[in-house]
Amino acid sequence: MTVATLAEVLQPALNDGYAVAGLVCLGWEDMLAYVAAAEAERCPLILQAGPGCREHTPLPVLGAMFRHLAENASVPVVLHLDHGYSYADCATAIDCGFTSVMFDGSRKPLDENIQETAAIVALAHQAGVSCEGEIGFVGYDGGEESLGTDPAEAGRFAAETQVDAMAVSVGNVHLQQDASASIDTDRLRAIEALTDTALVIHGGSGIDAAQRAELARTTNIVKFNIGTELRMAFGQALRNAINSDADRFDRLSILKDTIAPLTDATRPVLRGLRGQESARDC
């Protein structure tokens, strides 16, 4: 069985200078493709259920799907709740078999974020589950503006919550369709000077592959959340499948044709986070 917690896959990455991909899942086909890509690259993988996914598919179903894939995979697979917005969200995910939860209190005042995150960390750790928190607000392309992480607040947040991983806002933006994000390396280094907690970048699609690899190798960023660029790859694969045969109507036949192209698109994303020239397995 290769079900893993977030801490179990991130600590080796932190020690050895690579990063692990947190891949945003929306359905069965992308989950299959992501696990196939991770097995081909011999890398650990974090399957993530975000708010949009949870709105479409109930958490107990997602937990069962994730766990089935993880238990049958040849690489470590983390079952991760992305952007849980309440204690209840995270508690439900733990009850549904998730091995990692992310509590997003980034819109809350600092003291409230610390207090609520610490309570969820305690709940998660008691259940043998990892917990990711967020300090500083990561905005959305064409939507809410980012609020950069204050290094002093990050140091306090990490110390007082004891999170296993900490998402930070250093120029990264959710939902970017091009790799145009400008990472504030000075802010990042200031955060690293105050805490050695594993760091997470949300909005990883907005950072070009070369910079992702460099950050993975030279900083404490050990998890990149990747959603938009692979959703775009899935969308193109789906359009190709539909357009290839105007008379085809069976959804299973159509959707099956998205798995191989998405697997192919995912492999270089995973490979890049461990360094293109490295032959070392993650």
Q: Closest Cα to residue 130, out of 161, 173, 105?
A: 161
Give kind and range of the element (H or E) at residue 45.
Answer: strand 45-49
Three-state SS annotation for 117-156:
HHHHHHHHHHCCCEEEEEECECCECCCCCCECCCHHHHHH
Phi/psi at 159 (5° precision): -70, -40
Q: Which positions are annotated as active-site residues?
A: 82
| Alpha carbons within 13 A on the beta-carbon side of 63 | 16
- What CA–CA distance (Å, rounded) separates 92 from 22? 20
- Quick one: 282 exposed, middle or buried, by C-beta within 10 A (0-12, 13-18, 19+)? buried
- Closest by Cα among 39, 9, 5, 35 to 23: 35
Whether the Cβ atoms of residue 98 and residue 110 lie closer than 8 Å to each other: no
